[in-house]
C-alpha cells in the first residue's frame, strides 16, 4: 500500500484540507522492505492514544477536549529515527518520485526526502485546519501577489527538529543532506522584500500558533531567471516547476469561476447580474507552512488558472487551425505564467489586472465558502468581520474591496448599506511605498472594459467617500473642497456623482442673498436697482429687461443666479479631456479598509504627514505603524549554524530562536575576548563558504581575508546601487594613482558584492547592472590592484543566495535616498548576523541604528525632511557638485570600463530638471558624505577588536526586528485574533 499524501476518506468534497474520519496517519512501519502508511483504528488501546488538547496561549488556559477530533480518533506523536527516515525516503524513491527507478541521484534524493518530510507535516496540517474549522475561530487571511519562500526542505526539517536524523539517514543512503537540499529550486513566487516579508509572516504565524491562511498565485515561470552576459542582464524563463514541486497538493475539488468583460444587467432588490464575457477557473494548490517546535501547520493556498476542456475546439484542431483550437486554454493559463508581466502595452496592463482580480476573486469566494460552511445552515453576515479579516499586502489586492461587496450584494442578496458596512470592517491595508509609480493607478477605461460591475461599485464607494468628506468638512469654501477632493477621491479626473453636483449647486445658490421686500418710495427702488447693476457690472444693453411687473423682474433675476451657479460648479469640477481618467487603488484601500499601516516608524510618519495626510486628518484612528521583521529561524538559526551555536552558548539557552529579545543578553559579553575570538572564527568560516560560492557562480577568485562589502536587493535608482559603484570607481581611480606600497598602506582590501534583478522593462536599472559588471570586469583583471579590490555581481539573486551571502558579510549597504524606502528587511537580516550597516536615515535603518547604537552604524547623507528642499535647489540651478563627483563621471566617460556608452547613465545625474535627469535620487548630493563615511569604515575595520565588538552589538540589538514581534502586533492591534496551540 503506497504512502498517502492525505487521508483516504473525506467528509465533504469542499473541505479545504481533508481529514480522515476513520483514521489518522502516524508513521511508517517496514514490511517487505516497503514503507507503508499505518492507521490507528478504534481497536487500538486507549493507552496508546495521546489525547489532543488545545491551549489558548493568550489566556494561558489549557483545556482537554472531551472529543478532541469530533468523534474521530487521535494520534500519538511519532518521532522517527534515522533508520525509519531512511526507509521512508527509500519508499518514496521507489513509488512516488517522478524519476525512473534505476538510479538514486541527487534530484531523485531531493524529491524522495521532501515527500518523506511532507508526510510528517500532513498530519499536523490536517489537524490544525480541522480544529480551526470545528471551533469556528477567527482567521486572518493574508493576501499577497508575492511569496518569496526560498527552499523549503531544510526549513521544514529544522522546524520539525529532525535535522540530525535526516542528515544521518541520507548518509546511510549515500548522500549528504546539504547536497540534497541544494537540488531544490527556489520557489519563484516573488521578487523582493514584499514577497519575502509575506513568507516571514507565514512562518511567524505558524510558529506563534495564530489561526491564519495565506493566499497567492502559482506562477509557472515566476519573475525571470537572470543571466549576466557581456551585454548585461538577460532574462530567461524561470524553470522552478519543471520537475514539479513536492510540497504542493493540487485540490481538484476546490475551484472557483472568475469572470472578465461581459455586461451588467439589473437584478432583484438592487443587485446586478454580470453576464457574458470570458470565464476561467481558478484551481487551488495548497502548501503546508510548518511552525517551529509546534504542531501548528498553516496553509498557503495558491491559485492556478485554466478553462474546462470543453473549451478546446476539437473541430478547429482537426481542420488544421491548431492555434484557434487551444487559444482559449492558453489565454486562461497565461494569467499565472509570469509574476509582474511587462505593462508597457495595453495587453500587459490587461494581464496584470487579470492577475490581481483572479487572486482577489478566487480567494474571497473561498473565504466566503469557508465562512458559510463554518456558520451552518443560518448565516449571519453581520458576524463576518468577527470571523474573517483580510490583510491586503500593498495595493495589488485592492480589488478585494469591490469584489467582496459584489459577492455580498449580487450573490448573497445583501443591501448596499450592509455590504459596504461589512466590507469596511473586514479588510485592512498595508502600505509599502511612497513611490508614485508603486501607488497603483488603473485606467478607468480598462477597468470598465474588463470589470464593468466593479467599476459601478467603485463609483458608489467614491460617492460615499465624497459625501463623508462633505459631512465632515462642509462645502462653504469650494476652493478648499476642490483641493481636498483632488487628494482624497478614488476616481481621478472623473465627473462628480450627480448627487454631489446637485448638492453643490444647491449650496452655491443658497449662498446668494435673497431679494428682500421693503417699503420704500418707487424712486428709491429704481435708484437702488441702478446702483446694484453698476456694482455688479451688469451690461447697459439689459436695461430694457427691467421694465415690467415686479414679479417678472424677480423671476428673471433668480433664473440668472441659478444659471451662473450651475456654470460655476461645472467649470470648477470639470474633467480635463487631455488627462486620463484613472482609479487610484491606494485611495480605495484607505477608504474601504478599517486599518492602514506603514512598515517602519519613519515610513508611517511620511504616510500620515504626506502620502495620505488628508485621509489621516479625516480618519486618524485608522492609521498605525507595524515595523517589519524577519524570521530568526531561517535568517540566523538555519542559515548561520556556526553563529547560532555561539549565541546559544553565551546566552545559555536556545529559547532566543522564538524569543529574540534574549539576544540582548549578548551586550554584556561584547568586550569578552573569548566571545570575540569565537565570533571572528565563525565569520571566517562563513567567508570561506562565500568565497567558494562566488568562484562557482562567477569564476572570480576572492580573498576571504578581505572585507566582504555587500549590497543585494532589487536594482532600482532609489536604492542607489549607482552611488555604491561610483564610490568604488573613485576608490579604484585613487588606487591607480598610487604606488603599490602606497595602495597597501592606504586601503583596506575589499570584496564588493552586488546582487539583484532589474525589472525587464526598467532600462535605467539595466544600465546600472551593465555598469557594475563592466567595472568588475576591469578591476578584477587589473594585476596592479590584485586582491585589494574585487567587484562581483552575483547573478540570479534569490533567497538561497541571500542565505549564503548574509552570514559571511561584514559591511552591508542600505543607502537609499532618505524617505523613499518604506522599511527594508535585508538590513534586519544583515544586522542579525553581525554585519555592520552603512546607510541613510531611511526606512528601518532609523530604528536599527537606535537599537544597535549610533556608534555601531555608519551614517551618511541627507535626511528625509531635507529632500524636497534639495530637489527644489537643484531645479533652481543652485546645486554645485563635489569635484570628486565630477571626476568620477569624467573617468567613466573616458572609456576605461569598456566601449559601452554611459552618457545616458551619467546624464541622468546632470541638469536641473526633466524626466530621467537632474539626479532625482540625489546621488551627487550624498556622494561626498558617502566617501567620507567609507573612510570611517576603513579605519574601524583596521581595529578588529573594535569591529568585532560592533558586530556583536549589531546582533544583540537586532532583537526588535523579529517577524514574531511584528505578527504579535498585527494580531493584537489589527486582526484581533488569538493564538491557539495544538498540544
Q: Are 359 and 215 in contact (CB under 8 A)?
A: yes
Q: Measure CA 701 to chain center.
A: 35
Please provide the average confidence, as pLDDT, over all residues in the chain. 88
Strands 53-56 and 263-266: unpaired
Which helix (H) or strand (E) is 300 found in, with range? strand 297-306
pLDDT at 534: 38
Say how far apart CA 566 and CA 282 lie, in whole Å: 49
pLDDT at 331: 92
Domain boundaries, the chain: 80-135+151-185, 679-961
Phi and psi torsions of 839, nearest 5°: -170, 175
Q: Which letter, b or e, does each residue of 134-170 get, where b requires 16 or more Cβ atoms within 10 Å of its Cβ?
A: eeeebbbbbbbbbbbbbbbbbbbbbbbebeebbbebb
Residue 265, SS3 per DSSP? strand
For 914-923, the CB contacts below 8 A with 24+ separation are 916/764, 918/871, 918/874, 918/875, 919/874, 920/717, 920/871, 921/717, 921/718, 921/720, 921/817, 921/820, 922/817, 922/862, 922/867, 922/870, 922/871, 923/720, 923/722, 923/723, 923/726
Helix 498-510, helix 550-572: angle, nearest 10: 130
The residues, ordered by sequence, that sit 6+ positions from 422 with a Cβ below 8 Å of its Cβ are: 381, 382, 384, 385, 404, 408, 414
Q: Measure CA 570 to chain center.
A: 41
3-state secondary structure labels for all residues of 789-856: EEEEEECCCCHHHHHHHHHHCCEEEECCCCCCCCCCCHHHHHHHCCCEEEECCCCCHHHHHHHHCHHH
pLDDT at 696: 97
Q: Are 593 and 399 in contact (CB under 8 A)?
A: no
Say how far apart CA 609 and CA 620 lie, in whole Å: 11
- Residue 252 DSSP code: E
Q: Which letter, b or e, does each residue of 358-368 get, where b requires 16 or more Cβ atoms within 10 Å of its Cβ?
A: bbbbbbbbbbb
How many angstroms separate the Cα of 610 from the Cα of each of 102, 487, 805, 864? 64, 11, 36, 12
pLDDT at 78: 64
Q: Measure CA 400 to chain center.
A: 16
Q: CB count, 10 Å around CB of 435?
A: 13
Residue 249, SS3 per DSSP? strand
Q: Give residue for cell 543585494.
A: 712
Strands 297-306 and 836-839: unpaired
Q: Are 612 and 535 in contact (CB under 8 A)?
A: no
Say how far apart CA 736 and CA 339 lie, in whole Å: 44
Which helix (H) or strand (E) is 274 found in, with range? strand 272-275
Task: For the chain, give the longest Cα–Cα distance.
Answer: 123
Q: Are 957 and 665 in contact (CB under 8 A)?
A: no
Q: CB count, 10 Å around CB of 947?
A: 21
Joined grid coordinates for residue 910: 546632470
Say how far apart CA 300 and CA 213 lie, in whole Å: 6
- Superfamily assignment of 679-961 in CATH? Glycogen Phosphorylase B; (3.40.50.2000)
Q: CB count, 10 Å around CB of 329?
A: 17
In the Cβ-directed half-sphere of 877, how many Cα atoms lie within 13 Å?
A: 0
DSSP per position, 95-135: HTSSS-SS---HHHHHHHHHHHHHHHHHHHHHHHHHHHHHH
Say how far apart CA 485 and CA 478 lie, in whole Å: 10
How many angstroms separate the Cα of 41 from the Cα of each of 4, 50, 80, 841? 17, 14, 21, 62
Phi and psi torsions of 283, nearest 5°: -110, 140
First CA to last CA across the chain, in angstroms? Answer: 30
Q: CB count, 10 Å around CB of 62?
A: 12
Closest listed residue to residue 828, CA positions, set 727, 942, 670, 965? 965
Residue 783, SS3 per DSSP? coil
pLDDT at 97: 87
Q: Are 221 and 235 in contact (CB under 8 A)?
A: no
For 508-513, the CB contacts below 8 A with 24+ separation are 508/478, 508/565, 508/568, 508/569, 509/561, 509/562, 509/565, 512/561, 512/565
**Which residues are known catalytic residues?**
432, 713-714, 719, 825, 829
Joined grid coordinates for residue 372: 458559510
Low-confidence ranges of the chain (pLDDT < 50): 1-76, 512-563
User: Helix, strand, coil shares of the chain as percentages rounded to 5?
Assistant: 50, 15, 35
Q: Are 643 and 939 in contact (CB under 8 A)?
A: no
- 734 by Cβ neighbours in 10 Å (0-12 / 13-18 / 19+) ranks as middle
- Residue 151 DSSP code: -
Joined grid coordinates for residue 280: 476561467
Say how far apart CA 639 and CA 420 lie, in whole Å: 46
Radius of gyration of the CA atoms of the chain, in A = 32
Joined grid coordinates for residue 654: 536556545
Q: Give residue for cell 440668472.
A: 560
Q: Which letter, b or e, does each residue of 219-230 get, where b requires 16 or more Cβ atoms within 10 Å of its Cβ?
A: bbbbbbbbebee
The residues, ordered by sequence, that sit 6+ positions from 656 with a Cβ below 8 Å of its Cβ are: 632, 647, 648, 662, 663
pLDDT at 767: 98
Amino acid at each position: 500500500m503506497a504512502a498517502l499524501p492525505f487521508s483516504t476518506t473525506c467528509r465533504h468534497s469542499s473541505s479545504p484540507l481533508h481529514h480522515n474520519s476513520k483514521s489518522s496517519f502516524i508513521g511508517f512501519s517496514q514490511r517487505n522492505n516497503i514503507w507503508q502508511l499505518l492507521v490507528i483504528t478504534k481497536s487500538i488501546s486507549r493507552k496508546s492514544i495521546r489525547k489532543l488538547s488545545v491551549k489558548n496561549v493568550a489566556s494561558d488556559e489549557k483545556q482537554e477536549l472531551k472529543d478532541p477530533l469530533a468523534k474521530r480518533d487521535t494520534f500519538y506523536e511519532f518521532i522517527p529515527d534515522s533508520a525509519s527516515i531512511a526507509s521512508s525516503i527509500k519508499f518514496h524513491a521507489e513509488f512516488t518520485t517522478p524519476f525512473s527507478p534505476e538510479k538514486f541521484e541527487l534530484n531523485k534524493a531531493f524529491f524522495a526526502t521532501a515527500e518523506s518530510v511532507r508526510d510528517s507535516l500532513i498530519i499536523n496540517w490536517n489537524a490544525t485546519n480541522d480544529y480551526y474549522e470545528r471551533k469556528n475561530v477567527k482567521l486572518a487571511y493574508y493576501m499577497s501577489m508575492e511569496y518569496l519562500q526560498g527552499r523549503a526542505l531544510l526549513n521544514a526539517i529544522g522546524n520539525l527538529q529532525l535535522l540530525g536524523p535526516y542528515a544521518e539517514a541520507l548518509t546511510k543512503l549515500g548522500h549528504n543532506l546539504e547536497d540534497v537540499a541544494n537540488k531544490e529550486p527556489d520557489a519563484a513566487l516573488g521578487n523582493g522584500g514584499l514577497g519575502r516579508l509575506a513568507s516571514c509572516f507565514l512562518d511567524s504565524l505558524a510558529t506563534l500558533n495564530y489561526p491564519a491562511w495565506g493566499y497567492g498565485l502559482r506562477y509557472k515561470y515566476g519573475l525571470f531567471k537572470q543571466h549576466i552576459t557581456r551585454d548585461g542582464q538577460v532574462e530567461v524563463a524561470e524553470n522552478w516547476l519543471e520537475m514539479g514541486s513536492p510540497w504542493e497538493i493540487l485540490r481538484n475539488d476546490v475551484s472557483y469561476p472568475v469572470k472578465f468583460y461581459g455586461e451588467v444587467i439589473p437584478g432583484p432588490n438592487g443587485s446586478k447580474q454580470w453576464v457574458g464575457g470570458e470565464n476561467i477557473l481558478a484551481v487551488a494548490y495548497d502548501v503546508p507552512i510548518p511552525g517551529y517546535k509546534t504542531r501548528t501547520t498553516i496553509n498557503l493556498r495558491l491559485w492556478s488558472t485554466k478553462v474546462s476542456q470543453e473549451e478546446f475546439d476539437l473541430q478547429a484542431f482537426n481542420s488544421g487551425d491548431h492555434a484557434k483550437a487551444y487559444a482559449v486554454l492558453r489565454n486562461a493559463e497565461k494569467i499565472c505564467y509570469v509574476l509582474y508581466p511587462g505593462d508597457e502595452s495595453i495587453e500587459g496592463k490587461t494581464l496584470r489586472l487579470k492577475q490581481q482580480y483572479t487572486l482577489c476573486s478566487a480567494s474571497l469566494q473561498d473565504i466566503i465558502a469557508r465562512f458559510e460552511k463554518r456558520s451552518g445552515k443560518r448565516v449571519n453576515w453581520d458576524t463576518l468581520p468577527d470571523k474573517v479579516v483580510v490583510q491586503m499586502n500593498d495595493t495589488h489586492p485592492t480589488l478585494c474591496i469591490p469584489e467582496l461587496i459584489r459577492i455580498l450584494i449580487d450573490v448573497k442578496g445583501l443591501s448596499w448599506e450592509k455590504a459596504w458596512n461589512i466590507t469596511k470592517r473586514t479588510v485592512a491595508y498595508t502600505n509599502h511605498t511612497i513611490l508614485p509609480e508603486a501607488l497603483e493607478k488603473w485606467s478607468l477605461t480598462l477597468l470598465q472594459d474588463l470589470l464593468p460591475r466593479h467599476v459601478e461599485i467603485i463609483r458608489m464607494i467614491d460617492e460615499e467617500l465624497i459625501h463623508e468628506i462633505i459631512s465632515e468638512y462642509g462645502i462653504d469654501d469650494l476652493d478648499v473642497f476642490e483641493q481636498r477632493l483632488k487628494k482624497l477621491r478614488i476616481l481621478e479626473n472623473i465627473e462628480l456623482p450627480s448627487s454631489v453636483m446637485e448638492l453643490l449647486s444647491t449650496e452655491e445658490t443658497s449662498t446668494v442673498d435673497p431679494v428682500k421686500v421693503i417699503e420704500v418710495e418707487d424712486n428709491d427702488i429704481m435708484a437702488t436697482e441702478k446702483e446694484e447693476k453698476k456694482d455688479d457690472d451688469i451690461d447697459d444693453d439689459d436695461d430694457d429687461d427691467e421694465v415690467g411687473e415686479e414679479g417678472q423682474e424677480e423671476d428673471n433675476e433668480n433664473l440668472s443666479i441659478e444659471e451662473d451657479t450651475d456654470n460655476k460648479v461645472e467649470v470648477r469640477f470639470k474633467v480635463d479631456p487631455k488627462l486620463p481618467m484613472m482609479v487610484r487603488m491606494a485611495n480605495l484601500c484607505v477608504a474601504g479598509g478599517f486599518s492602514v499601516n506603514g512598515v517602519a516608524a519613519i515610513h508611517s510618519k511620511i504616510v500620515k504627514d504626506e502620502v495620505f495626510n488628508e485621509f489621516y486628518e479625516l480618519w486618524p484612528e485608522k492609521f498605525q505603524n507595524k515595523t517589519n521583521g524577519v524570521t530568526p529561524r531561517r535568517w540566523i538559526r538555519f542559515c548561520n549554524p556556526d553563529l547560532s551555536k555561539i549565541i546559544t552558548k553565551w546566552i545559555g539557552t536556545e529559547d532566543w530562536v522564538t524569543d529574540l529579545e534574549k539576544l540582548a543578553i549578548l551586550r554584556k559579553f561584547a568586550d569578552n575576548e573569548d566571545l570575540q575570538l569565537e565570533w571572528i572564527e565563525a565569520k571566517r568560516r562563513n567567508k570561506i563558504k562565500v568565497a567558494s560560492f562566488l568562484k562557482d557562480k562567477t569564476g572570480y577568485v576572492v580573498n576571504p581575508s578581505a572585507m566582504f562589502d555587500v549590497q543585494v536587493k532589487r536594482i532600482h535608482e532609489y536604492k542607489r546601487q549607482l552611488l555604491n559603484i561610483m564610490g568604488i570607481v573613485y576608490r579604484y581611480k585613487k588606487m591607480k594613482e598610487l604606488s603599490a606600497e602606497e595602495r597597501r598602506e592606504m586601503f583596506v582590501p575589499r570584496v564588493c558584492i552586488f546582487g539583484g534583478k532589474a525589472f525587464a522593462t526598467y532600462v535605467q536599472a539595466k544600465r546600472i547592472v551593465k555598469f557594475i559588471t563592466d567595472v568588475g570586469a576591469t578591476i578584477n583583471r587589473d594585476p596592479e590592484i590584485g586582491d585589494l579590490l574585487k567587484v562581483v555581481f552575483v547573478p540570479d539573486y534569490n533567497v538561497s543566495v541571500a542565505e549564503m551571502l548574509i552570514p559571511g558579510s561584514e559591511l552591508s549597504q542600505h543607502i537609499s535616498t532618505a524617505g523613499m524606502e518604506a522599511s527594508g528587511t535585508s538590513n534586519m537580516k544583515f544586522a542579525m548576523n553581525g554585519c555592520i550597516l552603512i546607510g541613510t536615515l531611511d526606512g528601518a535603518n532609523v530604528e536599527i541604528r537606535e537599537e544597535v547604537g549610533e556608534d555601531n552604524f555608519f551614517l551618511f547623507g541627507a535626511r528625509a525632511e531635507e529632500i524636497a528642499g534639495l530637489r527644489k535647489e537643484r531645479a533652481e540651478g543652485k546645486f554645485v557638485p563635489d569635484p570628486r563627483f565630477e571626476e568620477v563621471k569624467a573617468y567613466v566617460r573616458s572609456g576605461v570600463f569598456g566601449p559601452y556608452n554611459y552618457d545616458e547613465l551619467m546624464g541622468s545625474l546632470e541638469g536641473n530638471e526633466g524626466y530621467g535627469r537632474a539626479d532625482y535620487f540625489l546621488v551627487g548630493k550624498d556622494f561626498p558624505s558617502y566617501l567620507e563615511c567609507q573612510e570611517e569604515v576603513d579605519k574601524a575595520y583596521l581595529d578588529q577588536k573594535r569591529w568585532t565588538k560592533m558586530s556583536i552589538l549589531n546582533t544583540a540589538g537586532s532583537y526588535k526586528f523579529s517577524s514574531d514581534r511584528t505578527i504579535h502586533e498585527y494580531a493584537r492591534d489589527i486582526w484581533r485574533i488569538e493564538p491557539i496551540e495544538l498540544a
